[in-house]
Amino acid sequence: MPWLTPVLEHFGQALDQGRLPHASLVTGERGVGKRQLAERIAALLVCDRRAPGSRAACGECRQCRLVAGESHPDIRVYQPEKSRMIRIDQVRALSQFAVASPQVAGVKVAILDRADQLNINAANALLKTLEEPAADVVLLLLQETGRPVLPTIRSRCRVLPVATPGAEAATAWLAAELADREPAPDTDRQALALHLAGGAPRLAVELLDSEFLMQRDTALEAFRQFMKGAITVAAAARAFRELGHEATLNLMEGWASDLARVMAGGEARDPGIAEVVRYLATANPPWRVQQLVDAIRDSRRALVNNVSPELETDRLLVQWRRLMPVRKRAAG
Ligand SMILES: [Zn+2]
């Protein structure tokens, strides 16, 4: 993942110069490879026999063998479990780890994957560790773009953004990553996954490995039928339920963007929706699309307030349907 190189280089230089940052906040889009990057940095930091100037661990020393066996006692990962939030007892465990002596390496590395999922109590507990850093611990906090981290935490970290790779680099990496799959997804499927992942290659792999694309196909087909008036809003909404509300919103947001793009003379990025949006583009003024985008945004806000996701999906589907010329709508 060549787009991770600048951040890795940052740590390599810090190592060479003997001034490791105490706490770093690695930020980037979901699925861009932040976790893999943090694990590589951790391996680099604990390795005993890294060649000077090298940005890779030796792979052979005792430390590297422990890393390979995923049993290095001086590297710890803290991540949300079922609750989707980092719990305060996880932060307490991290704090204890931070002040204890390293067991086998010269340094301890704590990865907090995802610092944007700390509630206020957990964040405050973490703050103590950030304020009184032990000399032999490196904290790697990971943050997903668009998810806020408390300013008090952020200000105590070196912020290191991971750029989303360009389309060419992402496509090449994805193809290489999937090359030995049996059967390997075809290039159209790979391109679609990458598009739905917002260009983040690791997330694209996750989507290809999960049932997401199949569920998306089902939802898309139901959407097409609904727009033609062939099925009811309830039947269409059922197809979206499997996806979950957030993915539904992302999908609809992508389609609305495609509609705006086509209206402006461009091409739809999601080939599955191209025909529908081309038709809608000829039948609607641009402000109707803006209305739709606003409705999707409202729905995203409503989600935070625990509004029924089913009702929100119904509401958005009806909004989409209003873009169909009356003649077509009456046919359903
Ligand atoms: Zn090594």
**pLDDT score at 300:** 86
Q: Which of 257, 261, 254, 253 is nearest to 300 (CA)?
A: 253
pLDDT at 328 over 60: no
Task: Please report where in the chains the tokens 């930091």 appear, as a residue.
Answer: 45
Q: Using the mean position of ligand 1's atoms as its centre, give its distance from the Cα of residue 58 in Å.
A: 4
Domain 2-161 has CATH 3.40.50.300: yes
Q: What SS3 string covers 18-73?
A: CCCCCEEEEEECCCCCHHHHHHHHHHHHHCCCCCCCCCCCCCCCHHHHHHHCCCCC
Q: How much is the pLDDT for 332?
A: 45
- In angstroms, the CA 220 to CA 214 distance is 10
Residues 143, 177, 116: CA angle, nearest 5 degrees: 10
Residue of higher predicted confidence among 326 and 128: 128
Which pLDDT score is estimated for 255? 95
Centroid of ligand 1 to alpha carbon of 325 (angstroms): 66
Residue 182: per-residue pLDDT:
85
In whole angstroms, what is the distance from residue 184 CA to residue 180 CA? 7
Distance 72 CA to ligand 1 centre (A): 12
Give me ligand 1 centre to Cα 317, in Å: 55
Q: How many CB atoms lie within 10 A of CB 116?
A: 20
Centroid of ligand 1 to alpha carbon of 205 (angstroms): 29
Q: Which of 61-70, 237-246, 273-282 has the lowest mean pLDDT?
A: 237-246
The alpha carbon of 16 and the centre of ligand 1 are apart by a number of angstroms equal to: 15
CA of 110 to the centre of ligand 1 (A): 18
Across the strands, what pairs with 28? 144
For residue 206, report the distance from its CA to the centre of ligand 1, in Å: 30
Separation of CA 108 and ligand 1 centre (Å): 15
Task: Categorise residue 265: left if φ over 0, alpha if ψ from -120 to 50, beta otherwise.
Answer: left
β-pairing verdict for 75-78 and 23-28: unpaired
Q: Quick one: pLDDT at residue 52? A: 83
Distance 12 CA to ligand 1 centre (A): 14
Mean pLDDT of 66-72: 95
Q: What is the C-alpha separation between 146 and 205, in angstroms, rounded?
A: 21
**Residue ranges covered by each domain of the chain:** 2-161, 167-209, 212-331
- Residue 68 Cα to ligand 1 midpoint, Å, equals 10
Cα–ligand 1 centroid distance for 220 (angstroms)? 49
Ligand 1 midpoint to CA 65 (Å): 8
Q: Which amino acid is at 181?
A: R
pLDDT digits (tens, 9 = 90+) for 213-258: 999 999 999 999 999 999 999 999 999 998 888 889 999 999 999 9
Q: How far apart are CA 171 and CA 184, in angstroms?
A: 14
CATH fold, domain 212-331, is: Zinc Finger, Delta Prime; domain 3 (1.20.272)
Q: What is the CATH number of domain 167-209?
A: 1.10.8
C-alpha distance across the termini of the chain, in Å: 49
Type of residue found at 330 = A
pLDDT number for residue 327: 62
Beta-carbon contacts of residue 291 (< 8 Å; ≥ 6 apart): 319
User: Measured in angstroms, how far is the CA atom of residue 74 from the centroid of ligand 1?
Assistant: 14
Q: Give percent of the chain above pLDDT 90.
A: 77
Q: What is the mean pLDDT of residues 283-293?
A: 92
**According to the model, what pLDDT value does residue 306 have?**
67
| pLDDT value of residue 301 | 84
Determine the Cα–Cα distance for residues 105 and 48; give it in Å rounded to an integer.
Answer: 8
Q: Is residue 46 scored above 50 in pLDDT?
A: yes
Task: Look over the chain and give the mean of its residue pLDDT values, rounded to a whole number.
Answer: 92
Distance from Cα 173 to the centre of ligand 1, integer Å:
26
Mind listing the pLDDT tens digit for each residue in 87-108?
Answer: 999 999 999 999 999 999 999 9
73 CA to centre of ligand 1 in angstroms: 15
Distance 5 CA to ligand 1 centre (A): 19
- Residue 53 is predicted with a pLDDT of 85
> Taking Cα atoms as reference points, which of 25, 42, 41 lies closest to residue 142?
25
Is 80 exceeded by the pLDDT of residue 114? yes
Length of the chain: 332
User: Tell me: the pLDDT tens digits for 155-201?
Assistant: 999 999 999 999 999 999 999 999 988 888 899 999 999 999 989 99
DSSP state of 118: B
Q: How many angstroms separate the alpha carbon of residue 46 from the centre of ligand 1?
A: 7
